[in-house]
Chain A
């Protein structure tokens, strides 16, 4: 980051033409495309981030799909199905982006179901009430949007383009969640209680979605230098809380942080201490639903095997027939 004026007496580090081109593109805030030369670390870092992101979308279908059959009206059922379908779509956009970097779909899927790959910890929390569909939309998708909007300008072209599509669709997710909570808050005392209880459970885990605090985020600095990431974890978390406070007032819910207060000096909302032990526990696989989420993903993969096999066999048969016809 800092430049030195002391003459460098060590031998100059040879830098290849390709690497210089890469550095120039990053420096100029241009985009790196799949066929461009890129440092191995850049490729690895992207594959890690994009595949984790894809896995999160895929696992993220589970907490909500639970409620499809129990949604309170036909309209809510249709909305929820559309939303869960979107999550599947987002997973596919992202897997495609990771595949342009040489990662194969099978390897990524295998890593996920073997429990070797990570996905967002938020999806390891249970959804015991209908109000949780509201909280997921408002808080979880809200936090995701906050994280993802800057990713639309990520230096890797296919990732940025996938994020543009995803962000467009996420705003529907957040609004429908807000609406669910708003309707509950305008309902009976019992419904208001259900909404508040749900917000109490999702608020802190949603804040943890931005990742560990800046001084404990090992990959951040390099990611920012490569312009994959544009803002620090704490910066985005703060931005999110600043947006939430007035929204919570509209809803009439209380954010479960007794230390939350407006700082006149910084003109920001200062938040209380986040329980990072909980974050690390869930990340390490000891959250309330980790085992169940993975088992369900594994079962779905196994139960879908015959569909993949049938499609491949059919395609094989068709192409054999086409070749036969051509030979005649």
Chain B
């Protein structure tokens, strides 16, 4: 399945950009851009997505290298959470009022 924005009609490949806003945090997807190679992609990403010190680190990933789930098969791919609320802490109510639990 082709990545949105990645088309054979584009001269330059598409890169997805991830920015770590601060040490201790994950890189988060911020957008995408087209660039001829990885060196220019990372420089363009810096100029385009971090003009106001939004990040301390930038990742660029060729969009073609990303494998995704098929959105049409949503129901089948993601397990139904129905009847599985015991996976959440809020399911266990008997300990209410007991400290440090």
Contacts and interface: CB of A to CB of B under 8 A. Distances in A.
B37 A35 contact: no
A186 B36 CA distance: 50
A320 to B, nearest CB: 12
A96 B12 contact: no
B69 to A, nearest CB: 10
Interface stretch (A1-9, A100-108, A270-278): A100-108
A85 B51 contact: yes
Contacts, number: 66
Contacts of A100: 4-5, 32
A162 interface: yes
Interface string B14-38: 1000000000000000011111110
A169 B10 CA distance: 28
Range class of the B interface residue count: 20 to 34
A315 B32 contact: no
Contacts of A161: 31
A126 interface: no
A110 to B, nearest CB: 12
Contact of A99 (B1, B10, B36, B71): B10
Interface stretch (A86-94, A128-136, A289-297): A86-94
Contact of A35 (B7, B11, B12, B71): B71
A287 interface: no
Most A C-beta atoms less than 10 A away, residue of B10, B33, B36, B48: B36
Interface residues of A, number: 32
B11 A106 contact: yes
Contacts of B52: 169
A16 interface: no
Interface string A157-193: 0100110010001000000000000000000000000
Contacts of B36: 311-312, 314-315
A108 to B, nearest CB: 11
A100 B2 CA distance: 11
B37 A314 contact: yes
A106 B32 contact: no
A89 B71 CA distance: 30
A195 B32 CA distance: 40
Interface string A288-324: 0000000000000000000010011011001100000
B9 A104 contact: yes
B33 A96 contact: yes
B58 to A, nearest CB: 15
Given A99-B10, A106-B11, A33 B48 contact: no
Contacts of A106: 9-11
Contact of A93 (B1, B4, B31): B31
Contact of B51 (A35, A89, A102): A89
Contacts of A314: 36-37
B56 interface: no
Contact of B31 (A36, A162, A311, A318): A162
A34 interface: yes
Given A92-B48, A161-B31, A319 B5 contact: no
A46 B39 CA distance: 32
Nearest to A317: B37
Interface of B: 1, 4-5, 7, 9-12, 14, 31-37, 40, 47-48, 51-52, 68, 71-72
14 contacts: A33-B71, A34-B4, A35-B4, A35-B68, A85-B51, A96-B32, A100-B32, A106-B11, A162-B31, A169-B52, A314-B37, A315-B37, A315-B40, A318-B37
Leading 7 A-B pairs by shortest Cβ distance: A34-B4, A315-B36, A100-B4, A315-B37, A99-B5, A311-B36, A104-B9
